[in-house]
Amino acid sequence: MKHQFLIALRITVVTTVLLGVAYPLVVTGLAHWLFPAKAEGQLIRKDGVVIGSRVIGQPFADDKYFHGRPSAAGANGYDAGNSGGSNLGPTNAQLMERVGADAARLAAENPGRPVPVDLVTTSGSGLDPDISLAAALFEAPRVARARGVREAEMETFIRAHTRMPSFGFLGERTVNVLELNLDLDSRWPVR
């Protein structure tokens, strides 16, 4: 019995060291060597200061900026430490009220145009950094007005920032909101 216990203890220690320490260090080292930007979280810096990440959404409320998807992550949304969906079902009154209010607000912003679903629904993580091309084009008139730019010029600007689906067919065309807004400030600064 004592011999079996010692064997089990050795196996536990060896597998813990190999799989709990050595393997993660090797994988992390390889990631930093092969894909340094991705391993560091794809951080975006401005004047040496980190202002966000390409892979984590953040809130934009001002009319001069494109807005991302709504977020249910944390009390105020976009909380990376509390990532997750709201877990509210499609018949939940609280969810229906929030989506209805958002849809009505957006419909008033662009009367007669259908509101893209990703502007009123949260993503599974609550941190989605992208919106669909349709959502960005829906927001274009508001942002163009706030910046004093022709709407057609804003639409061309959006299309230049559009990423195609993976492998040309998986998913839809998307726009990264933070990158779009940063380039927007560079192209048409607001006084």
Which of 113 and 168 is assigned the larger pLDDT?
113
- Split at pLDDT 50, 70, 90, the class of 179 is very high
- Split at pLDDT 50, 70, 90, the class of 45 is confident
**Per-domain boundaries in the chain:** 1-40, 43-187
- Split at pLDDT 50, 70, 90, the class of 104 is very high
Between CA 119 and CA 124, with CA 122 as vertex, the angle to 5 degrees is 140
Strand partners of residue 53? 43, 56
What's residue 124's pLDDT? 77
What's residue 3's pLDDT? 86
What's residue 141's pLDDT? 95
- Say if residue 122's pLDDT is above 90: no
- Split at pLDDT 50, 70, 90, the class of 83 is confident
Residue 131, SS3 per DSSP: strand
When pLDDT is averaged across residues 53-59 and rounded to a whole number, the result is: 85
What's residue 190's pLDDT? 77
Per the CB < 8 A criterion, the answer to whether 177 and 129 are in contact is: yes
Burial of 146 (0-12, 13-18, 19+ CB in 10 A): middle
Is pTM beyond 0.75? Reply is yes
- Say if residue 44's pLDDT is above 70: yes
What's residue 191's pLDDT? 67
